[in-house]
Structure 1
Amino acid sequence: MPITTVHKDTDTLQMTIVADFTVPVQRLWDAYADARQIEKFWGPVTWPATFTRHDMAPGGFSHYYMTGPNGERSGGYWEFLAVDPGRSFEVLDGFTGPDGNPDRGMPAMRMVYEFTETDTGSRCTTTTYFNSAGDLERMLTMGMEEGMRSAMSQIDDVVADLASFAADLPVQAQILSDTQVRFSRIIRGTPQQVWDAHQDPELLKRWLLGPDGWSMTSCEVATEVGQTYRYAWAPDDGSSPGFALTGELLEVEEPHRAVQTEAMEGMEGPPTLNEQTLIPVTGGTLITLLITYDNAELRDTILATGMTDGMEMSYARLERAVLAAA
Structure 2
Amino acid sequence: MTVISSTKNPEALSLVLVTEFDADVKRVWQIWEDPRQLERWWGPPTWPATFSQYEFTPGGAASYYMTGPAGEKGYGWWRITYIEAPHRLEFDEGFADDNGAPVGEMGAAHETVTLEDLGGRTRMTVHSVFESEEQMNQMMEMGMEEGMKEAAGQIDAILAEPARA
TM-score by length of 2: 0.96
The count of residues paired between Structure 1 and Structure 2 equals 165
Alignment of 1:1-326 (within 5 A): 1-119=1-119, 121-162=121-162, 166-167=164-165
Task: Report if the CA contact (8 A) 1:21-1:120 is conserved.
Answer: no
CA distance in 2 between partners of 1:56 and 1:40 (Å): 17
Task: Report if the CA contact (8 A) 2:4-2:18 is conserved.
Answer: yes
Amino acid at match of 2:43: G
Secondary structure at 1:41's aligned position in 2?
coil
| Alpha-carbon distance, 1:120 to partner | 5.5
Amino acid at match of 2:103: D
Give 5+ residue unaligned stretches, structure 1.
168-326
Structure 1 runs of 4+ aligned residues shifted over 2 Å read none
Task: Report if the CA contact (8 A) 1:93-1:111 is conserved.
Answer: yes
CA distance in 2 between partners of 1:14 and 1:158 (Å): 27
Amino acid at match of 1:30: Q
Deviations 1:116-156 (A, max 9, x none): 10146001111111111101111000000011111111110
| Equivalent in the alignment of 1:181 | none
| Equivalent in the alignment of 1:216 | none
| Alpha-carbon distance, 1:107 to partner | 2.7
Please, what is the CA RMSD of the aligned residues? 1.1
CA distance in 2 between partners of 1:45 and 1:13 (Å): 26
CA distance in 2 between partners of 1:138 and 1:166 (Å): 38
CA distance in 2 between partners of 1:100 and 1:58 (Å): 19
CA distance in 2 between partners of 1:6 and 1:12 (Å): 14
Amino acid at match of 1:81: T
CA distance in 2 between partners of 1:14 and 1:106 (Å): 15
Distance 1:27 1:120, change over 3 A: closer
Amino acid at match of 2:54: H
TM-score by length of 1: 0.49
Distance 1:54 1:99, change over 3 A: closer
Q: Percent identity between the aligned chains?
A: 36
Amino acid at match of 2:34: D
CA distance in 2 between partners of 1:49 and 1:86 (Å): 23
Deviations 1:69-121 (A, max 9, x none): 11100011110011111010100011101232101112310010001101460
CA distance in 2 between partners of 1:154 and 1:161 (Å): 12
Task: Report if the CA contact (8 A) 2:25-2:120 is conserved.
Answer: no
Task: Report if the CA contact (8 A) 2:109-2:128 is conserved.
Answer: yes
